[in-house]
Amino acid sequence: MTAEIVSVGTELLLGQIVDTHAPTMARILADCGIACTHRQTVGDNLPRAVAALNDALRRADVVITIGGLGPTQDDLTREAIAEALGDTLESVPEELEKLRKLFALRKFHWVETNARQAMKPTSGRMIDNPNGTAPGLICEKDGKVVIALPGPRNEFDPMAGGAVREFLCRLEGGQVIHSRILRICGMGESLVEEKIRPLMEGLNPTVAPYAHPGEVHLRITARAASREIADRMIEPVEQKIRAILGDHVYGADTTSLEEAIIDILRERDQNVSVAESITGGLLGSRLTSVAGSGDAFLGGVISYAVSVKEAVLGVPHEVLERFGPVSPECAEEMALAAKRITGSDYAVSLTGNAGPTSDADGKPVGLVYIAVASPRGVTVEEVGLGGSRDDIRTRAAFTALTNLRSELLSVGV
């Protein structure tokens, strides 16, 4: 079975945005054992989109479109699919009702063109889109399948990885390709690879490392007749990796580092607070991205200005005066202060210079101090981080999470 992806959008053709959805879709197809043999990109132009779909339908069994499902005049993927399949468009009353209710709820102004999003080709059915107004489409006709996905990332990702992935994997019947990802922190990619090299020589399951900012993912992939059999093949390989890498494996599959930390804290009925300077709230934002984090994260202080470090957090004036805000002494005081004023069991602080230039005290770009206060005391780490302002802040937050987890595991219950 072969598939072809058609990305729709003039902004793609003009090179104004980079197409990252098509690669995501291609990886999902590969996971489902379907070969993607061709990709096309067309603009918001009906005859060209129809011609591209006709070419794709001639070459492939499954055609997947991305983008052009919105409410405006230049969103015409729905029309193009209907024309290419020889269908007409029909309105789905329940969808229209749902749309109108959504607009009313959010107090958005209703414009009649929105009704187009409740239309579907006659041979199609809709895929629910809980994150936006345009549903996706699955059309089956004359032995061909056309699937339409919306363009906005927060709508595309869950739909592609959810309902569409499930549908595609069922299409290919027989074999499934199933993966498990082990997530590793506090160890670089080459060291991980060195430690598990013998396991990387297996053919089924395969083991492959992927570097991510601040962490490494190991993907264990098995090909088998069913998901259950694949799981049973993956299991012993996972156990070997865990035995080799120990506590560096912080989670599996979609577990994030902040989730792993919130889980530990909730289990122990303990909590954490933050005092953030360089990251300006990024660490708190990551911790609170976890549903249920309210049981384990109290909050803290964004002490970006020196005045807030002193007045709100209570860092002693002498410390700021003598060592400066970017110093191990200040980081330590910040963590202790956050723990004290929030009454938390643990506290993490960050202070540093994210650039783009050296700060007033001449501290270099990328220098960051991270302190962790715990029931047994306080530790400070100095790190030198590279990259853009954004990179430095992201890596600083990741290192803070890694250090907090490490302290949690050391202290124990």
Minimum Å gap between C-beta 140 and its own copies is 24
Amino acid code (one letter) for 185: C
Interface with its own copies (CB under 8 A), residue from 299, 316, 324, 328: 299
Minimum Å gap between C-beta 252 and its own copies is 14
Site map 135..164 versus its own copies, x via CB under 8 A: -----------------x-x---x------
Interface with its own copies (CB under 8 A), residue from 161, 316, 324, 387: 387
Q: Which is nearer to its own copies, 87 or 102 (CB)?
A: 102
20 is an interface residue for its own copies by CB under 8 A: yes
Residue 143 per-residue DSSP state: T
253 is an interface residue for its own copies by CB under 8 A: no
Minimum Å gap between C-beta 123 and its own copies is 26
| Contact positions with its own copies (CB under 8 A) in 170-189 | 177, 179, 188-189
| Contact positions with its own copies (CB under 8 A) in 214-233 | 219, 221
Short-list 251, 255, 238, CA closest to 184: 251
199 is an interface residue for its own copies by CB under 8 A: no
Short-list 308, 300, 371, CA closest to 338: 300
Residue 108 per-residue DSSP state: P
Task: Name the helix (H) or strand (E) containing 229.
Answer: helix 227-245
| Contact positions with its own copies (CB under 8 A) in 307-366 | 307-308, 311-312, 341-343, 355-356
| Contact positions with its own copies (CB under 8 A) in 264-293 | 271, 273-274, 276-285, 287-289, 291, 293
Task: Name the helix (H) or strand (E) containing 180.
Answer: strand 176-185
Burial of 201 (0-12, 13-18, 19+ CB in 10 A): exposed
241 is an interface residue for its own copies by CB under 8 A: no
Minimum Å gap between C-beta 329 and its own copies is 19
Interface with its own copies (CB under 8 A), residue from 37, 88, 122, 226: 37
Minimum Å gap between C-beta 84 and its own copies is 16
First to last CA, the chain: 53
Short-list 411, 316, 326, CA closest to 373: 411
Task: Please give the distance of CA 12 from its chain centroid, rounded to a whole number.
Answer: 22
List, in sequence order, every residue forming a beta bridge with 37; answer none if it has no partner.
none
Take residue 24 and report the two structure tokens written for it: 């995501």
Q: Which is nearer to its own copies, 123 or 401 (CB)?
A: 401
Short-list 335, 330, 320, CA closest to 283: 335
409 is an interface residue for its own copies by CB under 8 A: no
367 is an interface residue for its own copies by CB under 8 A: no
CB 187 within 8 A of CB 216: yes
Can you tell me whether residue 306 is helix, strand or coil? helix
Interface with its own copies (CB under 8 A), residue from 93, 94, 106, 376: 106
Where do we find the tokens 């306080």?
378
Q: Are strands 62-66 and 144-149 parallel, antiparallel or unpaired?
A: parallel
Interface with its own copies (CB under 8 A), residue from 91, 166, 211, 239: 211
